């Protein structure tokens, strides 16, 4: 049950982004989660209202995209989508594979509402 | 370039400010900011800092993980008995409550810092960082971090360790790697513990446990041992000594390279 801890870490990052953009509030938060990240999207969604209460993101929508588990085979050089409990190459069956995707817990994008745009903010955005 | 007329939009970043782009701002003031950062970025940052601490002092850090009761503390006691004279060892203990494990370790004359996590189900890099400040790293060769007994949560948190060692005690069943893929994928070494009980268990196959681990594409070695009888301990102790020697060697080379760079610099 470490999803609350993960969610609190997420909130720290979201609040930083909101501050950098001088945002009035956060509209949506987009995450990419792989099944091998150890984070359960359902539990993360449940923890979100608790972690975000009273913050700029209290009313934000949490959008979680589940990422596929993809391995690259070092034996036959093929790439295949596999089950999280069986990371064998789908083509030749070898276990000598490298995970290409599936262990991510990524904050991809934050959508914020800015009351007013200023040149200083625009600079911050483009250089960040 | 100014920031008002749009002349700072280059071919390299134009896609970001086009409608639908990551930095596009609509009339209603809505703005999408691309972040692409690991959710545990802050933890990973502190973990890297911890690793730097360990490296600076040439201390090997091993993160021990398992279910509760798989024999982590017993393994450490047996390890300290065998290696305690050659190497200077310290232990960081993670438990929800009590100092019991730290006290067990201290009885062997080894410093032990107990982290009680309250209701938290894992150690994180910040807790380990706080514990490190209570240890004299300069006087140590190895720090064992005994994580909270749990095969789920600790796997997600980098602590700054050099290696993850996962214990699977044989009464737990040989399919644990299949049931807890995130944890067992993170293993640099798997120890099948309490192997003195194998004759009593007709349903634990060490080959099956290895096969489940390979199905997670993990090439980690699997050792069979019993801390109680001492069987199989030599292989584990050799592995620890080898890792310690390799760390010293790597850091030695790094030091030589830095020294060479400094002397050849104009």
Q: How confident is the model at residue B19 (pLDDT cuts 50, 70, 90)?
A: low
Angle (CA) B223 B227 B231, round 5°: 60
| Alpha carbon of A112: minimum distance to chain B alpha carbons (Å) | 5
Same domain, A53 and A81: no
Same domain, A19 and A29: yes
Q: Do the Cβ atoms of B38 and A105 come closer than 8 Å?
A: yes
A106, B36: Cβ pair inside 8 Å? yes
Q: A95 to chain B: nearest residue by CA?
A: B217
Same domain, A76 and A48: no
Q: Is pLDDT of A128 > 80?
A: no
Same domain, A23 and A33: yes
Q: Do the Cβ atoms of B83 and B237 come closer than 8 Å?
A: yes
Same domain, A95 and A126: no
Residue A3 pLDDT:
87
Q: Between B38 and B13, whose confidence is greater?
A: B38
Q: What residue numbers bound the domain in which A17 lies?
A: 1-67+102-115+122-128
Compute the average pLDDT of residues B78-87: 96
B33: nearest CB among A88, A104, A112: A112
Q: How confident is the model at residue B5 (pLDDT cuts 50, 70, 90)?
A: very low
Same domain, A24 and A73: no
Averaged pLDDT of chain B: 89
Averaged pLDDT of chain A: 88
Q: Between A115 and B113, whose confidence is greater?
A: B113
By C-alpha distance, which of B247, B254, B253 is closest to B54?
Answer: B247
Same domain, A21 and A75: no
Domain count, chain A: 2
pLDDT by residue (tens digit) across B118-153? 878 899 999 999 999 999 999 999 999 999 999 998
Which stretch of A25-29, A32-36, B119-123, B246-250 has the lowest confidence by average pLDDT? B119-123
Residue A116 pLDDT:
57
Same domain, A54 and A87: no
Q: Is pLDDT of B35 > 70?
A: yes
Q: At what angle are helices B233-264 and B72-83 packed, to 10 degrees? A: 70
| Secondary-structure percent of chain A, ordered helix, strand, coil, rounded to 5 | 35, 30, 40
What are the strands, taking DSSP E only, across B56-141? 60-65, 89-95, 112-116
| Alpha carbon of A67: minimum distance to chain B alpha carbons (Å) | 14
d(CA A73, CA B184) in angstroms, rounded, equals 19
A109: nearest CB among B13, B33, B39: B33
What are the strands, taking DSSP E only, across B75-176? 89-95, 112-116, 142-146, 163-169
A1, B153: Cβ pair inside 8 Å? yes
A87: nearest CB among B9, B29, B216: B216
State the ipTM, two decimals.
0.80
A39, B31: Cβ pair inside 8 Å? no
Same domain, A1 and A24: yes
B23, A126: Cβ pair inside 8 Å? yes
Same domain, A12 and A54: yes
B42, A114: Cβ pair inside 8 Å? no
Residue B244 pLDDT:
95
Q: For residue B29, give the DSSP letter.
A: S
B25, A87: Cβ pair inside 8 Å? no
pLDDT by residue (tens digit) across B175-190? 999 999 999 999 999 9
Q: Which residues of A touch B38 (CB under 8 A)?
A: 104-107
Q: Which residues of B touch A3 (CB under 8 A)?
A: none
Compute the average pLDDT of residues B83-103: 94
Residue A65 pLDDT:
95
Compute the average pLDDT of residues B254-262: 74
Same domain, A45 and A78: no
Compute the average pLDDT of residues A85-113: 95
Q: How confident is the model at residue A115 (pLDDT cuts 50, 70, 90)?
A: confident
Q: Which residues of B touch A6 (CB under 8 A)?
A: 39-40, 156
Q: Please state, for a pLDDT cut of 90, what percent of chain B lies above it.
A: 74
Residue B11 pLDDT:
53
Q: Which residues of A touch B16 (CB under 8 A)?
A: 126
Q: Which residues of B touch A122 (CB under 8 A)?
A: 3-4
Same domain, A1 and A46: yes
Q: Taking the domains of chain B in order of start, what are their residue ranges?
A: 9-38, 41-244
A113: nearest CB among B2, B30, B217: B30
B217, A110: Cβ pair inside 8 Å? no
Structure tokens of B161? 């360790």
Q: Which residues of B touch A128 (CB under 8 A)?
A: 33
Residue B7 pLDDT:
47
A112, B31: Cβ pair inside 8 Å? yes
d(CA B209, CA B192) in angstroms, rounded, equals 9
pLDDT by residue (tens digit) across A45-80? 999 999 999 999 999 999 999 999 999 999 999 999
Q: Is pLDDT of B261 > 90?
A: no
Q: Is pLDDT of B17 > 60?
A: no
Pairing verdict, β B189-193 and B163-169: parallel
Give the architecture (CATH level 2) of B41-244.
3-Layer(aba) Sandwich (3.40)
B35, A125: Cβ pair inside 8 Å? no
Angle (CA) A29 A32 A37, round 5°: 125
A114, B8: Cβ pair inside 8 Å? no
pLDDT by residue (tens digit) across B182-230? 999 999 999 999 999 999 999 999 999 999 999 999 999 999 999 999 9
- CATH number of the domain bearing residue A5: 3.30.2320.50
B215, A31: Cβ pair inside 8 Å? no
Residue B1 pLDDT:
37
Q: Between B238 and B252, whose confidence is greater?
A: B238
């Amino acid at each position: 049950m470490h999803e609350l801890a993960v969610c609190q870490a997420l909130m720290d990052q979201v609040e930083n982004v909101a501050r950098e953009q001088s945002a009035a509030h956060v509209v949506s938060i987009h995450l990419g989660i792989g099944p091998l990240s150890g984070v359960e999207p359902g539990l993360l969604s449940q923890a979100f209202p608790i972690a975000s209460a009273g913050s700029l993101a209290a009313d934000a929508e949490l959008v979680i995209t589940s990422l596929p588990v993809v391995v690259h085979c070092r034996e036959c050089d093929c790439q295949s989508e596999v089950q999280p409990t069986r990371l064998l190459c789908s083509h030749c069956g070898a276990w000598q594979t490298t995970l290409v995707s599936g262990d991510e817990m990524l904050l991809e994008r934050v959508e914020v509402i800015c009351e007013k745009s200023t040149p200083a903010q625009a600079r911050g955005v483009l250089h960040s | 370039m100014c920031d008002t007329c749009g002349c700072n939009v280059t071919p390299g970043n134009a896609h970001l400010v086009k409608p639908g782009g990551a930095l596009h701002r609509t009339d209603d003031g809505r703005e999408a900011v691309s972040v692409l950062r690991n959710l545990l970025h802050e933890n990973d940052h502190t973990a890297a800092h911890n690793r730097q601490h360990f490296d600076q002092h040439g201390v090997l850090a091993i993160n021990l993980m398992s279910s509760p009761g798989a024999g982590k503390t017993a393994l450490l006691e047996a390890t300290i008995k065998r290696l305690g004279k050659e190497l200077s060892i310290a232990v960081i203990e993670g438990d929800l409550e009590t100092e019991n494990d730290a006290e067990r370790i201290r009885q062997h004359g080894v410093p032990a810092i107990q982290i009680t996590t309250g209701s938290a189900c894992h150690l994180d890099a910040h807790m380990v960082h706080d514990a490190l400040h209570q240890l004299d790293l300069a006087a140590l060769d190895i720090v064992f971090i005994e994580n909270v007994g749990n095969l789920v949560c600790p796997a997600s948190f980098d602590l700054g360790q050099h290696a993850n060692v996962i214990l699977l005690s044989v009464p737990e069943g040989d399919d644990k790697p299949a049931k807890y893929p995130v944890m067992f994928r993170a293993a640099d070494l798997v120890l099948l513990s309490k192997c003195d009980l194998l004759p009593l268990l007709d349903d634990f196959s060490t080959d099956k446990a290895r096969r489940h681990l390979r199905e997670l594409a993990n090439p980690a070695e699997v050792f069979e041992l019993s801390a109680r009888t001492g069987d199989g301990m030599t292989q584990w102790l050799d592995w620890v000594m080898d890792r310690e020697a390799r760390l010293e060697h790597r850091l030695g080379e790094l030091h030589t390279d830095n020294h060479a760079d400094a002397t050849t610099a104009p």
